[in-house]
Structure 1
């Protein structure tokens, strides 16, 4: 019984990654890749001259293709629809007076 528990834990740890896949689309065919490249080229992407700004240019072309097709959700990366603001002071304690954090110094 003592050897059964560690063996069970080890087996479940080794089997867990096989269930972790979110989707299985299968292999992509050559024709599908070619069709996607043609769409990107129609959206303004030029693969032969994209050596300096590679990720930015292809992502912009992919965004244009997605906008034309009505796709607003990307398969990879964080959400780009939200906004964030950093460095904003949100204190309710006055900077002077008896409740100041600097009071008494």
Structure 2
């Protein structure tokens, strides 16, 4: 009986990460071609030049930073970053 219980516990320990990984993979939707084109258009509007391969990492990171700053400036609701303190 103890052997059966140990086998069930081991099987459960092995199965839980596999199930959670499968759920995580199922939640990720593939990116459509239209979404990629829209993102590239947004990056180009923010100053990214895909033909400037000499400055590639800096160029795209700067454009993404501009997009992120614009989204943060137009966002509604409370800030999602930062810290808070409470006194007890």
With a CA cutoff of 8 Å and minimum separation of 6, indicate the structure with the bigger relative contact order.
2
**Superposition CA RMSD, Å:** 3.1
Question: What residue ranges of structure 2 are gaps of 5+ in the alignment?
Answer: 74-80, 83-88
Q: 1:74-101 deviations in whole A, cap 9, x for unaligned?
A: xxxxx9x8xxxxxxxxxxxxxxxxxxxx
- Counterparts of 2:6 and 2:56 in 1: how far apart (Å)? 51
Question: Which structure has the bigger radius of gyration?
Answer: 1
Residue 6 to residue 59, structure 1, CA distance change in 2 (3 Å): farther
Are positions 1:39 and 2:42 aligned together? yes
Q: 1:31-73 deviations in whole A, cap 9, x for unaligned?
A: 11100000001111111222x44333212211101111227xx
Aligned match of 2:57: 55
- Counterparts of 1:8 and 1:33 in 2: how far apart (Å)? 45
* Runs of 4+ residues deviating >2 angstroms: 10-15, 52-57
- Counterparts of 2:14 and 2:51 in 1: how far apart (Å)? 45
TM-score under structure 2 normalisation?
0.58
Question: What residue ranges of structure 1 are gaps of 5+ in the alignment?
Answer: 72-78, 82-105
Structure that is richer in helix per residue: 2
